[in-house]
Amino acid sequence: MFADFLRRLTAPAPLPEPDARLALAALLVRIARADNHYAAEEVIQIDRILATRYGLDTAGAAGLRGEAERLEAEAPDTVRFTRAIKDAVPYDHRVGVIEAMWSVVLADGGRADEENALMRLAASLLGVSDPDSARARQQAAINR
């Protein structure tokens, strides 16, 4: 199942909505795991983001996150997730993706170097400018 999904991530056509959801969820899981500490606060924040963004109940958000955790563990790189999101999501919503990622980074109360590096990479790959990423981080901190 995940091998097929990973192939779809590299296909030239935009992803269908369920695949774009899974790509975003996997990207959130990847940023949460970047510092090798997948904190409970990060899991809660991911579920909250998925529930709000996609209108899911608690079980639905947790189910999507569970799929994303398995996918993230198998995916070789971040480029595939970001490419899929960049192709499927307009710029202002990609800034929202960066804000969601920052909210996961900040959920456990700290920012590790690995998280900062992955955030810089993800913002660049998503085509989000440095000033917009900085504003998204500030907004995520305010909403925390």
pLDDT in tens, 78-114: 887 788 788 778 899 999 999 999 999 999 988 999 9
**Could you give the domains of the chain?**
15-143 (1.10.3680.10)
pLDDT at residue 12 is higher than 50: no
Q: Are 144 and 66 in contact (CB under 8 A)?
A: no
* Confidence check: pLDDT of 70 > 50: yes
Asked if 114 contacts 74 with a C-beta cutoff of 8 angstroms, the reply is no
Query: Would you call 11 helix, strand, or coil by DSSP?
Result: coil
What was the pLDDT predicted at 4? 54
The total number of residues written for the chain in this structure? 144
Query: What is the reported pTM?
Result: 0.85
C-alpha to C-alpha distance for 88 and 99, rounded to whole angstroms:
17
CA neighbours closer than 13 Å in the CB half-sphere of residue 83: 12
Residue 72 in this model has a pLDDT that exceeds 50: yes
The answer to whether residue 17 scores a pLDDT higher than 90 is no
